[in-house]
Structure 1
């Protein structure tokens, strides 16, 4: 984790970057930015260390959404290619288009970001000159249509990684909800995601649940091996509360109904405690 001096720098970066984003320095923005910066630390070490390899690099981000990860990546890296297939009118209270446009107008990072609205695999396959130092998938796997799509995406990234002929291998950096809770207050989050996996909500955040074990297995199938993995215990973000709230609108059918009832029991057992977010798994992959 960052040193005390780096932590002070981190706090300053969070305040600066939140001002560039839709929602400004709201508690939600601040907590989400802090979490994304913690992901960078888990992947690559202290971002303020002289040995950190992110500065000067080009990053391909898959599933950029409204730019929660894009902004901190652009702060440290030379250039970020941010790809997402979602329509620009998707999202609330700000759409992807509104959020991305505000970030693009910022003097600090705007010119360092290229937004691409495209299917990621199609973009990778048609962009023969693509040669990033890192490919980042931060909390984007659950939006994918299937495990098969994910392994095809990893294979496409492996092709890009092989283009490096200078011995400087591209790294694939992945972070996703780990489907475990080291804090019982996050049990409801795990169960809410399981319910959505059994019966996805239209325009919801969960289409395909890919566990850390699945990620490593599928990466191996694609020719990638894990170099580093780090767990982050129950980050202080609101995602757990959001997913539980979403599930309350679902029908009590089949497997989903079983998970919903278990989730409701977990929420009831919390009493006055708030719902927490589950643990996050991070991994670094190379050829």
Structure 2
């Protein structure tokens, strides 16, 4: 289903024709949009849009009668090989530009919101949060502007041994953020149970929880490469942490353990 959607997307919007990485990412985003239950005509707010990988799929799914407002706290010059500003401009110049708009350097908690949304999407952005209290505050505000929260994140409860490299890399990077101030994309490893509790504490109820296959994505190798780069910076950490990181690092070098973790999806109302 999602593979067919990707090919239709490329033909219809003339985006990512020669970009295999983006095409693979789109396949997963279509699977997430289906799991979220996004429908035509919906008005959607996407928090943590990044370069717009999820945004374009949401915009395609809601159709011409729907709309996606996408926000991110990052500046336009953030990101590589294309900056967020460059990626968004490319999307704006396509047919999807009329049904989506981007707002960078925008803090959701300070954003002026004067309308209701059919759904609010947070897709693979919760690990960026430095403080769990801030994520809880996001959930509480979401409840005031929408009756539907669509949440997705990497699932640390991996089922295949081939995914343990991604698990170890994410663990190393979370420890790295504990001991070294950085703006990396892993600050906290929020899992199913923590997110579910936060949603309940925010006054919402989990309606659906499911897993979405993501083993084929490139993210695992990207995280493994970054984790290998930072391991040397644990020299100032307590010895027990160094030992733990070394054990995880040894696993990163095991052949055939670099598939990406799957995603878990929670839909709450």
TM-score (norm 2): 0.89
Of 148, 158, 162, 1:171 maps to 148
Residues 131 and 241 of structure 1: CA distance in aligned 2, closer, same or farther (over 3 Å): same
Cα deviation, residue 220, structure 1: 0.5
What is residue 61 of structure 1 aligned with on the other side? 46
Residues 63 and 17 of structure 1: CA distance in aligned 2, closer, same or farther (over 3 Å): farther
Residues 61 and 9 of structure 1: CA distance in aligned 2, closer, same or farther (over 3 Å): same
Q: Give the paired residue count.
A: 257
What is residue 166 of structure 2 aligned with on the other side? 189
Q: Please tell me whether residue 280 in structure 1 is matched to residue 263 in structure 2.
A: yes
In angstroms, what is the RMSD of aligned CA positions? 1.9
Cα deviation, residue 267, structure 1: 2.8
What is residue 125 of structure 2 aligned with on the other side? 140
SS, match of residue 229 in structure 2: coil
Of 162, 170, 175, 1:198 maps to 175
Q: Is the 8 A contact 2:220 2:258 kept in 1?
A: yes
Cα deviation, residue 32, structure 1: 0.4
Residues 219 and 258 of structure 1: CA distance in aligned 2, closer, same or farther (over 3 Å): farther
What is residue 249 of structure 2 aligned with on the other side? 264
Q: Please tell me whether residue 114 in structure 1 is matched to residue 91 in structure 2.
A: no
Residues 264 and 225 of structure 1: CA distance in aligned 2, closer, same or farther (over 3 Å): same
Distance 2:175 2:78 in 1: 23
Q: Please tell me whether residue 222 in structure 1 is matched to residue 205 in structure 2.
A: no
Of 70, 95, 115, 1:130 maps to 115
**Alignment gaps of 5+ in structure 2:** none
Structure that is richer in helix per residue: 2
SS, match of residue 277 in structure 1: coil
Any residues of structure 2 matched to 1:154-165 within 5 Å, and which? 154-161=139-146
Task: Spell out, residue by residue over 1:24-79, the C-alpha distance to the aligned partner (whole angstroms, 9 max, x if none).
Answer: 432211110000001112222xxxxxxxx510110000000100000010011110
Of 76, 81, 89, 2:69 maps to 81
Q: Is the 8 A contact 2:70 2:101 kept in 1?
A: yes
Cα deviation, residue 185, structure 1: 1.6
Q: Is the 8 A contact 2:6 2:26 kept in 1?
A: no
What is residue 42 of structure 1 aligned with on the other side? 35
More divergent stretch after superposition (177-186 vs 96-105): 177-186
What is residue 50 of structure 1 aligned with on the other side? none
Distance 1:69 1:263 in 2: 31
TM-score (norm 1): 0.84
SS, match of residue 275 in structure 1: coil
Distance 1:136 1:25 in 2: 28
